[in-house]
Structure 1
Amino acid sequence: ILILLFIVFYIRNQRNIRKEQERFSQQLIANLEKERSRIARDLHDDIGQSLSAVKSRLNILGRNGEENLQSLEEEVGKVIEQTREISRNLYPSYLEKIGLIRSIARLMEMTQSGTGIECSFDVCNEIEEISPENKTHLYRIIQECVTNTTRHSGASALKISIEKSGEHCLFTYRDNGKGIGNQEEIRGIGFLSIRERVKMLKGELQLSDNQGKGFRLIIKFNLERISNS
């Protein structure tokens, strides 16, 4: 009987530990999103506006005959655009405005023009039914995958697909790069973030890595469980 009681206690204790870990992970992700939102607002409202004011003054000086100011004005303009881009990446408020599909299209267009990697995607319209919070989780997963491809994989092409199958959705991300080099990369912060967000989507994650022959990530989740309804 004592052994049985010990086993029951051990199982319950492990369940409580897992639940506590999940709560901690969820709170960590939520706090991260809040902090990203705050930094994005600060970049846009404070630094962005200050740089815009500097650019306006340079423009006025240039019209008054000051030399060598045009190139400086152009450089400030580039910094303004870079600041805006950082702000958009930290907190993609356009997700709420234009939806997930158009946001993915925008990310693909920017990635292709900025890196030369051929980007394609095929996304079912039903994905727009998921809640705003879960759209953010899915978009962050895509961002993390794209970042991994552009920085580490040496890929020349990547593809995203989201297809509906019954009550489930299947998200697939793949590239033709060198794949994941070692287990240390899988345990890194980027993949840890992906795993935690998949948990919040109540999904199942599958990583397929043929080293030297590309990388593939698959997430299966129930559309109705994470929808707005």
Structure 2
Amino acid sequence: MKQPPVFKESAQVRHPAPPDGVPASVLLVDDNPAKLTALAAVITDMGLDVATANSGREALRLLLQRDFAVILLDVKMPAMDGFETAALIHGRPKSAHTPIIFVTAEADTDSERFRGYTSGAVDYIFSPIVAEVLRAKIQVFVDLFYLQRKLTIQAEELLQSKRQLRELASYQEHIKEEERKRIARDIHDELGQSLLALRIDVSMLQARTGTLHPRLNEKASDALNHLDTAIRSVRSIINDLRPPVLDLGLQAAIEWQLEEFRQRSAIDCTMSAKDENFRCDLNEKSATTLFRIVQESLSNIARHAQATQVHIELYREGRQLYLQIKDNGVGMTDRKKLNSFGLVGMKERISMLGGEFSIDSAPDKGTRLTISLPLD
């Protein structure tokens, strides 16, 4: 019958606090109750949650219930010895990296020690056991366990912060679009209608003056020209804020935007839409986001690409909508441009909608933006 281990007392080691207030668990496995009691007594003041098992099977059962910072495992046990138990513990994905320290009263041969290490052991402890050494070894793995838990907590907090930032950015985009709609509506209903009424009055004045008042007629004609310019400017502002054509669908809005861009830049613009059935499946938020990205992309092409051709493709594959914007310009020669604020903002807006955003660019070979979004 195995005897309880002999302990040599010494100074105690430090016991850092767990990062989340939950003490680490340590598992002691031995078929000798007296030995389990002695081992537990040595580490009882370390502020740990100590669990005991009197067989390999019981140890495996406990591992299904919680994680352990370290396992102290007896080598010589009936039915299932320590080597077999260690192999089964590390054969389970969740406990594959749990540290195991073999505890034995016998000075095993080198071959047995090698078998222990190949079974997944990180260390051996032989009797007589020095209490300070045992606690120090356990503390090393407890510290690593706390560090891993701290990193996990920080990663979860970072993920939560990123999620909150995305939600805030999404809310800000929503507020901006709603404000654009409101301003466009107010300009149309107030300023637009006032300019239109004023133009009608000036037009009537011009018609009535005719040859009777040449100078007044000339002034009325100049006023009409100024009013027409102002009305065009107001319409342009309304369209930039929120083009009414967007109500007819994303394809119509992009075609309108391409025509406007072609007139301003003299760049040849084409568009192909392979499937129009996505109209009823694309929500307003996604459609507006894609339209804004087309606007911003065309603006970037005009300023930086030195392109002569732009082609936009809009199509669906299954439950995914794809948008490609291609130009034959100089491409992005500077890697910093690929991480510019504008492109990062596009990628983030698409990511908030559950989509993907990619850039394919090479010197003198143009640039292609590819966007995919899930349809409702």
Is TM-score (shorter-chain normalized) higher than 0.5?
yes
Q: What's the RMSD between the two structures over aligned residues?
A: 2.0
User: Quick check: 1:125 aligned with 2:276?
Assistant: yes
In structure 2, the residue matched to 1:37 is: 181
Query: Are the counterparts in 2 of residues 141 and 197 from structure 1 also a CA contact under 8 Å?
Result: no
Structure 1 residues 83 and 192 mapped into 2: Cα distance closer, same or farther (>3 Å)?
farther
Structure 1 residues 19 and 94 mapped into 2: Cα distance closer, same or farther (>3 Å)?
same
Query: Are the counterparts in 1 of residues 166 and 352 from structure 2 also a CA contact under 8 Å?
Result: no
Residues of 2 paired with 1:79 and 1:181: CA distance? 41
Residues of 2 paired with 1:25 and 1:110: CA distance? 29
Residues of 1 paired with 2:322 and 2:249: CA distance? 19
Question: Unpaired runs of 5+ in structure 1?
Answer: none
1:42: Cα distance to partner? 2.3
Query: Are the counterparts in 1 of residues 360 and 369 from structure 2 also a CA contact under 8 Å?
Result: yes
1:146: Cα distance to partner? 1.4
RCO comparison, higher one (Cα < 8 Å, 6+):
1
Residues of 1 paired with 2:291 and 2:206: CA distance? 42
Q: TM-score, normalised by structure 2?
A: 0.55
1:144 is paired with a residue whose SS is: helix
User: Quick check: 1:85 aligned with 2:236?
Assistant: yes
In structure 1, the residue matched to 2:312 is: 160
Residues of 1 paired with 2:309 and 2:222: CA distance? 35
Report the identity percentage. 26
In structure 2, the residue matched to 1:23 is: 167
Among candidates 82, 95, 114, match of residue 246 of structure 2:
95
- Is the deviation greater in 192-201 or in 39-48? 192-201
**Greater helix proportion:** 1
Residues of 2 paired with 1:112 and 1:54: CA distance? 32
**Residues 39-66 of structure 1 deviation map (CA, whole Å, 9 limit, x = unaligned):** 2122212221222232222212211222
User: Quick check: 1:151 aligned with 2:303?
Assistant: yes
- Is the deviation greater in 159-168 or in 13-22? 159-168
User: Quick check: 1:47 aligned with 2:191?
Assistant: yes
In structure 1, the residue matched to 2:256 is: 106
Residues of 1 paired with 2:195 and 2:304: CA distance? 33
Residues of 2 paired with 1:25 and 1:99: CA distance? 25
1:67 is paired with a residue whose SS is: helix
Q: TM-score, normalised by structure 1?
A: 0.87
Show structure 1 runs of 4+ deviating over 4 A. none
Q: Max radius of gyration: which structure?
A: 2
